């Protein structure tokens, strides 16, 4: 384009500019060629500049929509002078002078030297049909930007064309135009950074100090071929600030798919081959990848697959060269079976010779640019960064060598990557930038041998042999999340290329780099984000590791935020110390961390048997007498020494030695035990007989109740009636002792004082509740007492107790806090829940009562018993339940979880779970899918860990695995984004009714949670027929239909559909029950599968076999297999031939 510059002058402020306090509006003096100029602040660090006229209009389709001005919380002041205006916006001072041409300068408040300044007398220029914009140029500053591909990194002194051409094969040093470009130029200096961004799509050039004109000094110039200028100036202290603000202006980039972070092969060569045909050559290439164990996530096909088979051999996009690829579908399937995705190369245009050119025109089939305002990346921080990124205050990073950016760079926040670039060189010279802030900079450590620690702020030589290693240094205080070193997939991604990948992304480690000694109280923190890697609108979860160190130990903290609903496949977080660091690792709550910090379902206890790594079984692993904890295998073994037997007159065999098949200390190789055969003859059981095994493994049922296996062994082989040992009197005495101990810890005088204060000074008396008698009100999780007031009122005092279970106090307290919050949540509703007056937790130092408690309103009525109610009475109660559901429906919340009180407000937090099922925390969730996947996943974890369903691990795992796999279909009909309060323990006795069967209250809200609509309004325990469920006949019951009809009569057709659609959620939470027989377990499994699939299952064994292949891809399958083998061997030994199945 010929240079035809015209420089408008004699600018005057327009009326709009005079009236605007924070902006400048000018117009040039020439009547024939008037130009308008404007400058206005948009954000605290973002400014907009325009320069236009009638024949130089602003870009008609700008790349950025002008953002709404947002300066409400920012200090803005202006100062007028003659042909000059100064605007302070936060920390930035902007000045506009127009004595000749408009000159904009930007600087930090309190400094004189500008960060940015237009070139005086020649700032904004009309140039033929376009414009030119001249700014001052500092040759010592770093200039970056403009395009995706350019070198060296510092663009200073160079010239670039900006043009929409397909300039592949370009030379980054010597050819133009840029391959992929955008008119963004960032100038970085120790004082700060300024970005200049033009919104036009038009052709132009950037001369970054490459032009020299002695009359004008050093300058850079942006030339635009057409139209006026719309330009944004972005100011920041660091490059990170500027890049983030730029992303907020133009839109965050979409997230890169997870698989794209793996190795992606490609090359124009392969698809261009005719001999051998491309499909054959590419399969040979895939074979080589497998042979050399190179994991490959995708292959870039280039254009050869679409080249026409006959002349002219041009690209016909959306077609296949059938000589090179005779059967594309078959070839694609083969590549997908290797776990390799195919990335096609589609040009954004069609040639007129394309066979379908006219067809596409007629059918409006050409691509159009979609518009979206949805953000992608959260921070817009590139993973590969200049060495001075975040270290702009270090003067060394501004030297020419480092500004070129060619020999070292940051990869993420932690790793500094260097290089050896000449043959025979064995050392890399790397600069280690230093932070300049209040905290001490601990330096770096070599990630390769010899693992040297280096101080920051110096050049170092790092051993790195040419072609054999890459010099990598880690920043002390950093952390690197890592996964498996093979190709993996995320659960839920059922695309062909993913299903073919065997390994799940179920491992996560974090390598940390603490100082060699103490961090002197300084804690280092790293946060990373994860999603499914495939969704266009992903649910993003956040994880943070924090650590500090002393000379003896490293203290770790870990938090996770999964309220988005995304729950990854990994359940354990390995903490990896740098090579040679052998300090103890402890959690920030004082517990030791051995190999990892477990996110899996936390264990009540590990098995107490020395050397056994298994979890204590939840359903049978605690001996009620000696309170030792055992896994399923050891619970009935001779390893259980119960000291309680020493206090009763029972002859007990003495154990000399024993060994179990999976015991790491067993050198015998088979299960054995060495005991006294009464009266005292030692007997070695190398091959136990059936009868001998029965003495160890049977689960006897004594008069009145079943006893746990661990407890039963206390009485086995005694030749004595155990009912005398485990009598009702002894049992009652045990409970009385427990409650006596609980009351001894309770300051009842303080409870009376609190009650009197809350009830306007009315005096009261503490009355202990009944806990043994037939009308006892104590449940398995809480003890209830009364405050009886002189005015006749009665309040309920609820104190948690755990019976014979050892439940962590943190979980007990969470249940108390959540129940109180739930009652507060219900207060403004019409639901007849008791009013909660106050609560305190045992861990609260200000709690003088000494135990956790809730004081609440005592409601009238008696628990509803559906078995004793007549059909009409039951129908009357269900009519009222329908009314309660309608009230619940009026109060939706955006998260699934349990209520808590946070700073006086009711919030939804993690699920309040039954402590007798599992201890892990989860939630809150924003999606129904995240909710169901987490619950089913945690049940699978418990089963694989041996904590639940130890007698039927295969059936149990298949039960929850099938629900997990079909989670999306199960919640498809749910109200997205809305969750509703659910009384989890809704067996009927939570309803209090009067003599006329009017519901006068609902109690026992300790496990309440907000859940998807299908669970909140679907079939529940209240309307269940458990006998039918256990006999393969259960599904929607008459009571379910009765409740649905009651909802329909009230116009709640949507809720009615939930009430009678299916009972999947009821089955999910009931699971396989506790103590179920094999036939009952199979009925429950069959019923669940039929409820989910909607199909009749005629052969359950055949169905189970069909699921094994999918289960084998689950990381927990190995543990399930081992549990199955264990149970199989036990059943063989016990002679239970009717209850055997083969486990391959």
Confidence of residue 378 (pLDDT cuts 50, 70, 90): low
Q: Is the pLDDT reported for residue 920 higher than 60?
A: no
Whether residue 610 lies inside any domain: the answer is: no
Domain end residue (candidates: 406, 441, 475): 475
The answer to whether the CB of 709 falls within 8 A of the CB of 623 is no
User: pLDDT tens digits for 925-966?
Assistant: 888 888 888 888 888 888 888 888 888 899 999 999 999 888
Whether residue 666 lies inside any domain: the answer is: no
Query: Is the domain of 418 the same as that of 313?
Result: no
Predicted pLDDT of residue 115: 94
Predicted pLDDT of residue 650: 44
The answer to whether the CB of 780 falls within 8 A of the CB of 773 is no
Average the pLDDT over 796-809 and give the result: 73
Angle at 785 between CA 783 and CA 791, to 5 degrees: 160
Domain of 524?
494-587
β-pairing verdict for 409-411 and 384-385: antiparallel
The DSSP annotation for 342-359 comes to: EE----S---TT-TTHHH
Question: Would you call 13 helix, strand, or coil by DSSP?
Answer: strand
Per-residue tokens: 396: 């060394």
Confidence of residue 344 (pLDDT cuts 50, 70, 90): confident
Query: Is the domain of 544 the same as that of 403?
Result: no
User: pLDDT tens digits for 138-187?
Assistant: 988 999 888 765 567 888 888 888 877 766 666 666 666 566 678 899 99
Which residues are CB-neighbours of 551 under 8 A, at least 6 positions away?
Answer: 517, 518, 583
Q: In the 8-state DSSP scheme, what is residue 1119?
A: H
The answer to whether the bond into 177 is cis (omega within 30° of 0) is yes
Query: Is the domain of 944 the same as that of 1083?
Result: yes
Which residues are CB-neighbours of 131 under 8 A, at least 6 positions away?
Answer: 51, 56, 124, 125, 223, 224, 227, 228, 229
The answer to whether the CB of 969 falls within 8 A of the CB of 836 is no
What are the strands, taking DSSP E only, across 149-289?
Answer: 158-162, 181-189, 192-198, 204-208, 219-224, 229-236, 264-266
Average the pLDDT over 697-715 and give the result: 29
Q: Is the pLDDT reported for residue 996 higher than 60?
A: yes
Domain end residue (candidates: 222, 248, 274): 248
Query: Is the domain of 537 the same as that of 561?
Result: yes
| 44-58, 363-377, 962-976: range with highest mean pLDDT | 44-58
Whether residue 37 lies inside any domain: the answer is: yes
Average the pLDDT over 560-582 and give the result: 83
Query: Is the domain of 500 the same as that of 432?
Result: no
Q: Looking at the 3D structure of the chain, how many domains does it have?
A: 6
Specify the higher pLDDT residue, 807 or 386: 386
Predicted pLDDT of residue 439: 67
> With the CA atoms of 884, 887, 889 and 892 taken in that order, what torsion angle do they form, in degrees rounded to the nearest 10?
-120
Predicted pLDDT of residue 166: 66
Whether residue 738 lies inside any domain: the answer is: yes
Q: In the 8-state DSSP scheme, what is residue 220?
A: E
Distance CA 1116, CA 942 (A): 10
Percent of all residues in the chain with a pLDDT value above 90, rounded to a whole number: 35
Whether residue 1036 lies inside any domain: the answer is: yes
Task: Name the strand (E) or helix (H) holding 379.
Answer: none
Select from 190, 246, 183, 192 the least CA-distant residue to 220. Answer: 183
Distance CA 503, CA 1115 (A): 8
Average the pLDDT over 296-317 and give the result: 82
The answer to whether the CB of 231 falls within 8 A of the CB of 267 is no
Whether residue 674 lies inside any domain: the answer is: no
User: pLDDT tens digits for 30-61?
Assistant: 667 889 999 999 999 999 999 999 889 998 88
Distance CA 574, CA 559 (A): 14
Whether residue 163 lies inside any domain: the answer is: yes
Predicted pLDDT of residue 659: 53
**Backbone dihedral region for residue 533 (phi beyond 0: left; psi -120 to 50: alpha; all else: beta):** left
Average the pLDDT over 551-565 and give the result: 85
Predicted pLDDT of residue 260: 85
Select from 479, 345, 352 the least CA-distant residue to 414. Answer: 479
421-435, 783-797, 814-828: least confidently modelled range: 421-435
Q: Is the pLDDT reported for residue 916 higher than 60?
A: no
> With the CA atoms of 274, 280, 285 and 289 taken in that order, what torsion angle do they form, in degrees rounded to the nearest 10?
170
Predicted pLDDT of residue 1138: 47
**Cα–Cα separations (whole angstroms), residue 361 to 317, 352, 366, 1045:** 14, 11, 7, 55
**Cα–Cα separations (whole angstroms), residue 802 to 739, 768, 783, 852:** 11, 18, 9, 12
Cβ density class 846-863: b for 16+ within 10 Å, e for less: ebebebbbbbbebbebee
pTM over 0.85: no
First to last CA, the chain: 77
User: pLDDT tens digits for 854-909?
Assistant: 999 999 999 998 888 999 999 999 999 999 999 999 999 998 889 998 878 898 88
3-state secondary structure 539-561: CCEEEEEEEEECCCEEEEEEEEE
Per-residue tokens: 433: 């930038």
Phi, psi at residue 1043, to the nearest 5°?
-65, -40
225-239, 778-792, 999-1013: least confidently modelled range: 778-792
Query: Is the domain of 308 the same as that of 401?
Result: no
Query: Is the domain of 553 the same as that of 453?
Result: no
- What CATH number should be reported for the domain holding residue 982? 3.90.1200
Domain end residue (candidates: 328, 344, 360): 344
Distance CA 955, CA 964 (A): 14
- Helices and strands of the chain, counted as H and E runs: 25, 56
Whether residue 717 lies inside any domain: the answer is: no
Average the pLDDT over 796-802 and give the result: 86
State the CB neighbour count (10 A cutoff) for residue 1014. Answer: 23
The answer to whether the CB of 594 falls within 8 A of the CB of 530 is no
Q: Is the pLDDT reported for residue 561 higher than 60?
A: yes
> With the CA atoms of 855, 858, 864 and 868 taken in that order, what torsion angle do they form, in degrees rounded to the nearest 10?
120
Average the pLDDT over 251-266 and give the result: 84
Select from 572, 449, 445, 460 the least CA-distant residue to 512. Answer: 445
Specify the higher pLDDT residue, 326 or 671: 326
- What CATH number should be reported for the domain holding residue 389? 2.60.40.1180
Predicted pLDDT of residue 44: 92
Specify the higher pLDDT residue, 230 or 579: 230
User: pLDDT tens digits for 676-695?
Assistant: 555 544 433 333 343 433 33
Query: Is the domain of 777 the same as that of 799?
Result: yes
Q: Is the pLDDT reported for residue 325 higher than 80?
A: yes
- What CATH number should be reported for the domain holding residue 779? 3.30.200.20
Query: Is the domain of 503 the same as that of 441?
Result: no
Specify the higher pLDDT residue, 843 or 835: 835
Query: Is the domain of 97 the same as that of 177?
Result: yes
Specify the higher pLDDT residue, 105 or 373: 105
Distance CA 416, CA 475 (A): 8
Which residues pair with residue 782 across a beta bridge?
800
Distance CA 1052, CA 1062 (A): 17
Burial of 353 (0-12, 13-18, 19+ CB in 10 A): exposed
β-pairing verdict for 764-767 and 705-706: unpaired
Q: Is the pLDDT reported for residue 999 higher than 90?
A: yes
Across the chain, mean pLDDT equals 81
Q: Is the pLDDT reported for residue 793 higher than 50?
A: yes
Query: Is the domain of 323 the same as that of 460?
Result: no
Q: Is the pLDDT reported for residue 984 higher than 50?
A: yes
Phi, psi at residue 740, to the nearest 5°?
-60, -40
Query: Is the domain of 92 the same as that of 220?
Result: yes
């Amino acid at each position: 384009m010929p240079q035809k510059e015209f420089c408008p002058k004699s600018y005057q402020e327009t009326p709009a500019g005079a009236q605007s306090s924070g902006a400048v509006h000018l117009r040039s003096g020439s009547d024939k060629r008037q130009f308008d100029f404007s400058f206005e602040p948009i954000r605290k660090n973002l400014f907009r500049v325009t320069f236009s006229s009638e024949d130089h209009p602003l870009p008609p389709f700008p790349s950025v929509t002008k953002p709404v001005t947002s300066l409400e919380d920012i200090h803005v002041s202006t100062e007028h002078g003659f042909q000059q205006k100064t605007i302070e916006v936060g920390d930035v001072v902007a000045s506009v002078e127009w004595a000749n041409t408009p000159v904009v300068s930007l600087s930090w408040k309190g400094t004189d030297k500008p960060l940015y300044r237009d070139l005086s007398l020649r700032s904004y220029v009309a140039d033929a049909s376009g414009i030119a914009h001249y700014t001052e140029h500092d040759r010592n500053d770093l200039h970056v930007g403009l395009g995706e591909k350019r070198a060296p990194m510092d663009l200073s002194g160079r010239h670039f064309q900006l043009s929409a051409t397909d300039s592949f094969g370009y030379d980054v040093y010597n050819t133009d135009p840029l391959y992929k470009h955008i008119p963004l130029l960032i100038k970085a200096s120790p004082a700060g950074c300024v970005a200049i961004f033009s919104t036009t799509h038009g052709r132009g050039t950037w001369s970054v100090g490459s032009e020299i004109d002695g009359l004008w000094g050093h300058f850079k110039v942006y030339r635009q071929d057409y139209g006026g200028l719309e330009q944004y100036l972005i100011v920041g202290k660091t490059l990170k600030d500027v890049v983030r603000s730029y992303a907020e202006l133009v839109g965050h980039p979409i997230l890169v798919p997870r698989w794209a972070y793996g190795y992606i092969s490609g090359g124009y060569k392969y698809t261009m081959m005719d001999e051998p045909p491309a499909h054959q050559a590419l399969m040979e290439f895939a074979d080589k990848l497998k042979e050399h164990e190179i994991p490959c996530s995708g292959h870039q096909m280039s254009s050869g697959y679409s080249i026409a088979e006959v002349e002219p051999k041009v690209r016909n996009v959306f077609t296949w060269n059938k000589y090179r690829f005779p059967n594309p579908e078959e070839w694609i399937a083969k590549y997908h079976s290797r776990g390799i995705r195919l990335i096609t190369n589609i040009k954004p245009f069609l040639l007129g010779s394309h066979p379908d050119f006219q067809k596409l025109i007629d059918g409006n089939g050409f691509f159009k640019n979609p518009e979206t305002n949805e953000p992608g990346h959260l921070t817009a921080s590139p993973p590969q960064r200049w060495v001075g990124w975040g270290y702009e205050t270090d003067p060394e990073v501004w030297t020419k060598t480092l500004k070129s950016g060619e020999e070292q760079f940051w990869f993420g926040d932690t790793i500094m990557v260097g290089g050896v670039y000449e043959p025979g060189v064995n050392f890399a010279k790397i600069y280690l930038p230093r932070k300049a802030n209040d905290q001490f900079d601990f330096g770096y450590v070599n990630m390769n041998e010899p693992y040297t620690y280096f101080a920051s702020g110096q050049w170092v030589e790092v051993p790195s042999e040419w072609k054999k290693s890459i010099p990598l240094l880690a920043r002390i205080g950093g952390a690197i999340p890592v996964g498996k070193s093979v190709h993996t997939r995320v659960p839920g991604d059922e695309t062909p290329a993913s299903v073919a990948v065997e390994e799940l992304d179920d491992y996560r480690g974090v390598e940390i780099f603490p100082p060699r000694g103490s961090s002197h109280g300084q804690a280092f923190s790293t946060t990373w984000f994860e999603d499914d890697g495939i969704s266009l609108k992903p649910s993003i979860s956040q994880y943070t590791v924090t650590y500090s160190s002393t000379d003896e130990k490293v203290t770790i903290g870990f938090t996770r935020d999964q309220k988005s609903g995304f729950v990854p496949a990994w359940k354990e977080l390995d903490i990896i110390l740098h090579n040679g660091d052998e300090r103890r690792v402890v959690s920030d709550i004082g517990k030791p961390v051995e190999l990892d910090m477990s996110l899996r379902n936390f264990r009540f206890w590990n098995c107490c048997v020395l050397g056994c790594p298994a979890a204590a079984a939840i359903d049978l692993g605690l001996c009620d007498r000696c309170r030792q904890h055992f896994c399923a295998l050891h619970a009935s073994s001779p390893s259980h020494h119960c000291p309680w037997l020493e206090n009763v007159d029972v002859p007990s065999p003495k154990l000399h030695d024993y060994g179990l098949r999976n015991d790491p200390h067993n050198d015998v190789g088979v299960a054995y035990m060495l005991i006294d055969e009464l009266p005292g003859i030692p007997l070695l059981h190398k091959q136990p007989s059936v009868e001998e095994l029965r003495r160890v493994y049977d689960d006897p049922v004594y008069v009145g109740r079943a006893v746990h296996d661990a407890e039963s062994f206390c009485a086995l082989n005694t030749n004595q009636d155990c009912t005398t040992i485990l009598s009702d009197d002894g049992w009652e005495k045990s409970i009385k002792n427990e409650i006596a101990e609980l009351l001894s810890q309770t300051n009842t005088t303080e409870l009376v004082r609190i009650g009197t204060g809350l009830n306007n000074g009315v005096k009261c008396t503490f009355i202990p509740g009944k806990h043994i008698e037939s009308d006892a009100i104590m449940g398995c999780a809480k003890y209830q007492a009364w405050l009886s007031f002189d005015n006749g009122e009665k309040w309920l005092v609820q104190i948690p107790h755990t019976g014979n279970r050892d439940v962590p106090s943190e979980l007990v307290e969470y249940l108390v806090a959540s129940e109180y919050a739930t009652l507060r949540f219900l207060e403004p509703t019409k639901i007849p829940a008791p009013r909660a007056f106050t609560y305190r937790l045992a861990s609260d130092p200000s709690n003088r009562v000494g135990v956790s408690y809730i004081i609440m309103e005592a409601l009238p009525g008696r628990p509803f018993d559906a078995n004793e109610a007549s059909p009409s009475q039951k129908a009357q109660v269900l009519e009222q339940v329908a009314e309660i559901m309608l009230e619940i429906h009026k109060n939706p919340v955006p998260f699934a979880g349990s209520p808590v009180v946070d700073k006086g407000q009711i919030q939804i937090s993690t699920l309040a779970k039954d402590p007798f099922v599992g201890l892990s925390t989860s939630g809150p969730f924003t999606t129904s899918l995240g909710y169901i996947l987490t619950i089913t996943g945690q049940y699978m974890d418990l089963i694989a860990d041996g904590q639940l369903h130890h007698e039927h691990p295969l059936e149990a795992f298949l039960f929850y695995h099938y629900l997990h796999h079909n989670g999306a279909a199960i919640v498809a009909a749910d109200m997205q984004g809305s969750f509703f309060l659910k009384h989890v323990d809704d067996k009927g006795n939570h309803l209090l009714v009067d003599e006329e069967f009017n519901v006068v209250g609902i109690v026992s809200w300790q496990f309440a949670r907000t859940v998807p609509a299908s669970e909140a309004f679907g079939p529940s325990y209240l309307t269940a027929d458990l006998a039918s469920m256990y006999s393969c006949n259960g599904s929607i019951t008459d009571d379910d239909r009765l409740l649905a009809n009651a909802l329909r009569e009230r116009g709640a057709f949507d809720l009615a559909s939930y009430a009678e659609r299916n009972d999947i959620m009821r089955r999910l939470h009931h699971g396989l029950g506790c103590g179920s027989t094999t036939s009952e377990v199979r009925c429950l499994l069959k019923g669940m599968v039929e409820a989910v699939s909607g199909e009749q299952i005629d052969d359950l064994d055949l169905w189970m076999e069909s699921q094994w292949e999918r289960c084998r891809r689950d990381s927990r399958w190995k543990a399930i297999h081992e549990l199955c083998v264990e149970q199989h061997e036990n059943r063989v030994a016990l002679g239970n031939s009717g209850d055997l199945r083969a486990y391959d």
